[in-house]
Amino acid sequence: GLTQWVVTRDAQARLGHELQTTGQVFARFLRERELRLQTNSTLLASDFALKRVIATHFDPVNYDPATLASAGLSYRERIGVELVWMTDEAGMLLAASPNNTRVGQSIADLAPLREALQRGEAAAAIVQIDGNLFQLVAVPVFAPDVIGYLLLGHAIDDSVAAELKSETGSEVTFLT
C-alpha cells in the first residue's frame, strides 16, 4: 500500500509539472503570435492603399465590396494569416477573407473588435468563428479619424496542437 501511495504521488506530481510546463509554453506561444499579429496589423492599418480602399465605403457611388474583398485576400496571403476582416468605423463588416456570410452585418460584439471600438486602440482575443478557434487582433484604421477596423487572425487548430506536442511532448486537443 505504501509503495502504491508513493508511486501515485510521484505520478501526480510529474503529471502536474508536465501540464504546468505545457500551459506555460502555450501561453508564451499565444503571446508571441499576438505580438506578431499586432505588429502586422498596425503596419497594415497605416498603409495608405488600405486606408484608401476602406475609405471608399463613405462614398456609396464608388464603393466596391469586391475590391475590398480582393485587397483582403491579397493582404491575407502576403502576411500569412488565415483571416482578414475589414469593418467600418461602427463595426459593420465590409469585407472578409475568407468569404463570410456576415459581410454587411455588424460584428461589433466580437470580443477584440468590441474592445477596440470602446478604447480606440488595438485589442486581442481568442474567439470562436463558425466552429473554429481564432486568435484575433483588431486595430483601428486612422485617416486621421477612425475610418474602420482591421482584424487579422491565426487559426488555433491541429497544426498548433502538433507544434505544442513537438515542443512539450504532451498530447493537445482544442475544444470549442
Q: Could you report the per-residue pLDDT of 128-158, keeping only the tens digit for each? A: 988 889 999 999 999 889 999 999 999 888 8
> Of the candidates 61, 41, 62, which has an alpha carbon nearest to the alpha carbon of residue 148?
41
Quote the mean pLDDT of the chain.
86
In contact, 96 and 102? CB cutoff 8 Å: yes
- Phi/psi for 122 (5° steps) reads -60, 145
pTM of the model: 0.80
Say what the pLDDT of residue 176 is: 67
Identify the residue whose cell numbers are 483571416: 83
Q: Where is pLDDT greater, at 3 or 123?
A: 123
Residue 116 grid coordinates: 477596440
